[in-house]
Amino acid sequence: MKYDTILWDMDGVLMDSEQQHWRAWERTFRELFGIDHIDWEVYKYTIGVRYEEVSELFEKTYGVDVRPKEVEERYFLHKAEVEKEEGYLVTPHLPEVLAGLRNRGYRMAVASSSDLPDIENFVKKTGLSAYFELLFTGHWVKHSKPAPDTFLEAAKRLDSRPDRCVVIEDAYYGVKAAKAANMTCIGFVNPGSGEQDLREADFRIRDMRELLELL
């Protein structure tokens, strides 16, 4: 077997959450800044990066400062509201694919820019915890995606080499990070993540079941 480790992004890969995050930001902007709408074409460039990079884009585009703790707290409150209203939208066929990959001997980790509590809540509430040996947040490294640090450190903690790792990503910045880490990248074409540029990925899939054919 050429590969032994699979590193999964979470938002837009394990769950179709980006539209929910967009709606949570719109609620936050409406409540705190009187701005009713965030352009999806603007928002999609925040996909796959940490809150700090999201803040910079919103300040540049809308002239608002979302760095204060109050704004961050309101956003996470609204995100929790949306998730409670709509539930976690687990990617179709994901449980059967994770089970199949585990049965083939792959070690798996979540390697996401999301906060650790968000990652933990997702895998716990969806019953997917048993499939992942490691839950890794990009907040633990100095440089987030598109830098390779998140994936390199996650692989290191699993005692796996980059050339034996496969990264599953739905976002442009995530693909850039995977390739910068010298890892094989499979781009998941998720309509809910916008028209992301995944051309640098080694393979592209539209259905998670395709992973069982590729790996």
Do 3 and 215 form a contact (C-beta atoms < 8 A)? yes
The catalytic residue among 4, 9, 163, 197 is 9
The torsion defined by the Cα of 123, 199, 154 and 166, in degrees rounded to 10, comes to: 80
Q: Which amino acid is at 192?
A: G
Q: Does the annotation mark 207 as catalytic?
A: no
Report the amino acid identity of residue 88.
Answer: Y
Do 186 and 203 touch, CB atoms closer than 8 A? yes
List the catalytic residue out of 4, 11, 115, 159.
11
| Rounded Cα distance, 183 and 203, in Å | 12
- Interior angle at CA 65, CA 191 and CA 175, nearest 5: 35
- Using DSSP, state whether 196 is helix, strand or coil: coil
**Catalytic site residue 9?**
yes
Distance CA 141, CA 139 (A): 6
Query: Residues with catalytic annotation?
Result: 9, 11
